[in-house]
């Protein structure tokens, strides 16, 4: 029962594939109704949720456009009448050495990976604080701790996401709203396809993972259900590493 999400509505961003799609399906498997927001719609996520008898509504929106987020959030609330869980998953990565990193790449990454996370958390936070309960789960990264190579904007955004998780938890933990983050290790998705395609890099990363394999999107189903459910009610401002032991090495 601690993990049961029946009657809850989860808003998940970046659900057209990868980690967001798997987390939306995992939350639906635990009983939540899903509002799925992505820049591009995905019938496969909708079909997977409906196949298990779940409810899902899809909204197509570019979350990097800060001035549209209020109306996007209102549309999301109107789907099932409330939002109990927000999973801030949508994110992009731009790879270029720091000396040549363009201002556009920097700005695009910060707009989506950081600014949309704050603005959506603020909108959801107000909605949850009014009702005295809610769960916000941010998707951080190993680059919330480490520097990475050729991804300065991404690293800056993910360090900031870890800090924001703690900052909001300090303000809202006493008012029934839990905010935590998941830091995935190396997971096979579009986001990491260029690294997987680089045989030498892929091998050196795999060799360093104690679990001896990359993660799959399904590896996040359990952690996201845990952080979305009553099972984690006394967890606030925590960044949960789901990394096959990468950081323990």
E-assigned strand segments in the chain: 9-13, 33-38, 56-60, 85-88, 134-139, 177-184, 239-242
Nearest residue (CB) to ligand NAD, 1 versus 48: 48
**Is 35 one of the binding residues for ligand NAD (CB under 6 A)?**
no
Please list every residue from 80 through 139 that binds ligand NAD, using CB under 6 A: 89-92, 112, 139
**Is 223 one of the binding residues for ligand NAD (CB under 6 A)?**
no
Contact segment (CB under 6 A) with ligand NAD among 123-131, 166-174, 183-191, 231-239 equals 183-191
Nearest residue (CB) to ligand NAD, 75 versus 133: 75
Indicate if 234 belongs to the active site. no
**Which of 63, 87, 109, 124 is the binder for ligand NAD (CB under 6 A)?**
63
Contact segment (CB under 6 A) with ligand NAD among 18-26, 97-105, 120-128, 167-175 equals 18-26
- Dihedral angle computed from the Cα positions of residues 4, 8, 12 and 18, in that order, rounded to the nearest 10 degrees: 30
Residues of this chain that interact with ligand NAD (CB under 6 A) are: 13-20, 38-40, 62-64, 89-92, 112, 139, 141, 184, 186-187, 189-192
Active site residues: 154
């Amino acid at each position: 029962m601690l993990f049961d999400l029946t009657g809850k509505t989860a808003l998940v961003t970046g659900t057209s594939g990868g980690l967001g799609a798997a987390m939306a399906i995992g939350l639906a498997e635990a009983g939540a109704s899903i509002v799925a927001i992505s820049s591009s719609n995905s019938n496969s996520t909708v079909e997977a949720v409906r196949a298990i008898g779940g409810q899902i509504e899809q909204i197509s929106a570019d979350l990097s456009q800060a001035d549209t987020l209020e109306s996007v959030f209102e549309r999301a609330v109107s789907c099932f009448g409330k939002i109990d869980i927000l999973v801030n998953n949508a994110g992009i990565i731009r790879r270029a050495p720091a000396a040549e990193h363009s201002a556009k790449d920097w700005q695009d990454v910060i707009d989506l990976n950081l600014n949309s996370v704050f603005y959506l958390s603020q909108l959801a936070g107000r909605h949850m604080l009014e009702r005295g309960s809610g769960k916000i789960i941010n998707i951080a990264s190993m680059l919330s701790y480490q520097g990475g190579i050729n991804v300065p904007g991404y690293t800056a955004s993910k360090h900031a996401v870890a800090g924001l998780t703690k900052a909001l938890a300090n303000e809202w933990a006493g008012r029934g709203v839990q905010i935590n983050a998941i830091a995935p290790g190396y997971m096979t998705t579009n986001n990491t396809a260029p690294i997987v395609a680089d045989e030498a890099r892929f091998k050196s990363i795999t060799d360093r993972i104690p679990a001896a394999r990359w993660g799959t999107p399904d590896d996040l189903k359990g952690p996201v259900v845990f952080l979305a459910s009553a099972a984690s009610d006394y967890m606030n401002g925590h960044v949960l590493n789901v990394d096959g032991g990468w950081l323990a090495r």
